[in-house]
Amino acid sequence: MQNRPAIVAVGRTKFGEHYGKEPEKLIEEAWLAASQESGLERKALEACYMSDCFLPITNKLGLEEGFLSELTELHVPMEVTRSVSAALLTACHAIQSGAYSTVLVGGIEKMTDRWDKIRDDLMLLEDPWSYYAGGTPEVNHELMLRAYAKKYGIEGENLQKLNLALAEVAVKNHAHALKNEYAQFQRKITIEHVLSAREQAHKPLALYDFAPISDGASALILTNDTKAKAFTDKPIYVLGCASATDYLNFPGRADLTHFIATRIAMKNAMKMAAIDLDDIQIAELYDQSTVMEMVTMEDLGFCEEGTAWQCIRGKCEEYDGFYEVKDRKIHVNTNGGLKADGNPLGATGGAQLFEVFRQLRGEAGPRQIGPAKQPPKYGCTQEFEGFGTKSYTTVLGRE
């Protein structure tokens, strides 16, 4: 493929509450880290693709492009999307078309400044009718779980196992985050924490099942395969990237137990990448809730429909953090996922790409998967906008 897009450097901030930092400081930190790593001269950038969801209502009124221009002293084309995956997809198309050869892709979010209103904001963004009907950002996850259990006839003892498996997802992700210096929660939790939070809330899902609100920024440098070697010996190629869309209104969708957008996006990304799904060893999924991680494992094709919970259960007790499907290990959310790494909407996808980039290059330090000196060859990321309304999948590889 001509003009194959390649990521040559990544950067990010710690996710969490950045009480004292302005959004400028966050994105500056992330993009400086990426440009430092690649030795990129600022002037070499031909365009910027940035993302944020709430910046205009939380911190910066006006065009974000303008404040990025001030920050970088660049006057190149800039576009703002709602997620890093969307920014990357657009940037990839530009690289492939030959329009640009070196671009900056990044994202930023500062949600905690709006801590008292953010749940209303999130729900209105996710699905206005559900918000008007009294929905919270958590309800659709809970309804999906109930619909899932009903559809696959999971009840009684099996339902308990399913609930336990979901608790293990949260425990696994927290365990991963312990080894991630950028993670929002570098704190070990136990199954008991998850279960007792659910019991206290009288809910099937509770505090430890959901991703937090976060501040943070992430950035990466994207170029084409010809130019990549000028920046690094180990570029990571974007082998496939795709997105798909579904109804805004969750109850109105055909299937309440899965995300059709993810299925379509993954199918298209895999077709583009032309690799075997079995070759993917690491996946960074959008685990806004533990249920979302479980269902997405099925939508991406890693697990059979209605079985992901069985693949998690029992396999993560050592907290090596992998799913086992047909005797094959799939490492999921090794940075801690949205649950423990944090979920600053506009920057989250960048952290997912950051993680897969590091893992494929064997630079993930204590989190590195696979045998020493033999990092995984392929990885993928999956990101949502809304509750399954838009799904983005990106397949990355060392070659």
Binding site for other proteins (CB under 8 A): 116-117, 119-120, 123, 127-139, 142-143, 146-147, 150, 201-204, 249-252, 256
| Nearer CB in complex with other proteins: 33/122 | 122
Quick one: which of 128, 142, 81 has its CA closest to 109? 81
| Closest distance of CB 166 from other proteins, Å | 15
* C-alpha torsion 123→112→390→12, nearest 10: -170
Q: Is residue 134 within 8 Å of residue 80, measured between CB atoms?
A: no
| Nearer CB in complex with other proteins: 23/212 | 212
| Closest distance of CB 122 from other proteins, Å | 9
| Closest distance of CB 142 from other proteins, Å | 4
| Nearer CB in complex with other proteins: 146/187 | 146
| Closest distance of CB 126 from other proteins, Å | 11
Distance between start and end Cα atoms, the chain: 12
| Closest distance of CB 116 from other proteins, Å | 7
| Closest distance of CB 10 from other proteins, Å | 35
| Nearer CB in complex with other proteins: 58/281 | 58
Chain center to CA of 211: 11
CA separation for the pair 27, 60 (Å, rounded): 13
| Nearer CB in complex with other proteins: 203/328 | 203
Which two structure tokens, joined as six digits, stand for 272?
């583009």
| Nearer CB in complex with other proteins: 108/194 | 194
| Closest distance of CB 144 from other proteins, Å | 9
| Nearer CB in complex with other proteins: 138/341 | 138
Q: Is residue 351 within 8 Å of residue 339, measured between CB atoms?
A: no
* C-alpha torsion 286→287→288→294, nearest 10: 120
CA separation for the pair 192, 88 (Å, rounded): 39
CA separation for the pair 170, 340 (Å, rounded): 8
| Per-residue DSSP letter, 313 | T
| Nearer CB in complex with other proteins: 116/318 | 116
CA separation for the pair 154, 134 (Å, rounded): 28
| Closest distance of CB 369 from other proteins, Å | 35
| Closest distance of CB 38 from other proteins, Å | 43
- The amino acid occupying position 186 is Q
What are the Cα distances from residue 200, in Å, to 146, 159, 192, 289, 379?
Answer: 19, 19, 12, 18, 38
- List, as one string, the DSSP characters of 30-59: HHHHHHHHHT--GGG--EEEEE-SSHHHHT
Q: Is residue 108 within 8 Å of residue 50, measured between CB atoms?
A: yes
CA separation for the pair 157, 102 (Å, rounded): 55
| Nearer CB in complex with other proteins: 151/267 | 151
| Closest distance of CB 140 from other proteins, Å | 9
| Nearer CB in complex with other proteins: 58/352 | 58
Interaxial angle between packed helices 23-38 and 345-360, expressed in degrees from 0 to 180 and rounded to the nearest 10: 20
